[in-house]
């Protein structure tokens, strides 16, 4: 999966119920809660994955918080161990990379806006 380096218009009109596929073969998550510029909550149709994003104003700017929960309900012990020992650490690494990329792009946009004359 690759991140966009610019705002893509086709993704700016999300609505509750819209489906988003993560990558070409990844899972489909649907928008369950949406409050523009505040909250975005995505959930898989089977309920095994919930991913929430929140923008929280702070004195120095805005904090982006990402939380997710992935579960395999009633899974066998090997499946649960695989999720715990492989999937969770891998998810943490990928999510951190994603958040750092968002931070970099947001800071670049802020610098560009400050540099442009009024």
**Averaged pLDDT, 85-90:** 84
Q: Which residues contact 100 (CB under 8 A, 6 or more apart)?
A: none
Confidence category of residue 106, pLDDT binned at 50, 70, 90: confident
Q: Say what the alpha-carbon torsion angle 30, 33, 36, 40 is, to the nearest 10 degrees.
A: -60
89-104 CB burial, b ≥16 within 10 A, e <16: eeeeeeeeeeeeeeee
What is the three-class DSSP state of 38? Answer: coil
Burial string for 59-77 (b: 16+ CB within 10 Å, else e) reads eeeeeeeeeeeeeeeeeee
The third-level CATH classification (topology) of the domain covering 9-115 is Alpha-D-Glucose-1,6-Bisphosphate; Chain A, domain 4 (3.30.530)
Average pLDDT estimate for 35-61:
92
Per-residue model confidence as pLDDT tens digits over 2-35: 777 777 888 889 999 999 888 788 889 999 999 9
- Please state the domain extents for the chain: 9-115
């Amino acid at each position: 999966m690759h991140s966009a380096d610019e705002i893509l218009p086709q993704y700016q009109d999300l609505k509750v119920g819209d489906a988003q596929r993560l990558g070409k073969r990844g899972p489909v998550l649907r928008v369950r809660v949406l409050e523009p510029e505040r909250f975005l909550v995505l959930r898989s149709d089977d309920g095994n994955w919930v991913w929430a994003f929140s923008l929280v104003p702070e004195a120095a700017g805005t904090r982006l918080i990402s939380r997710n929960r992935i579960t395999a309900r009633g899974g066998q012990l090997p499946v649960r161990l695989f999720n715990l020992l492989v999937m969770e650490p891998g998810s943490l690494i990928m999510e951190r990379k994603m958040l750092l990329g968002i931070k970099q792009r947001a800071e670049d946009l802020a610098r560009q806006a400050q540099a442009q004359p009024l």
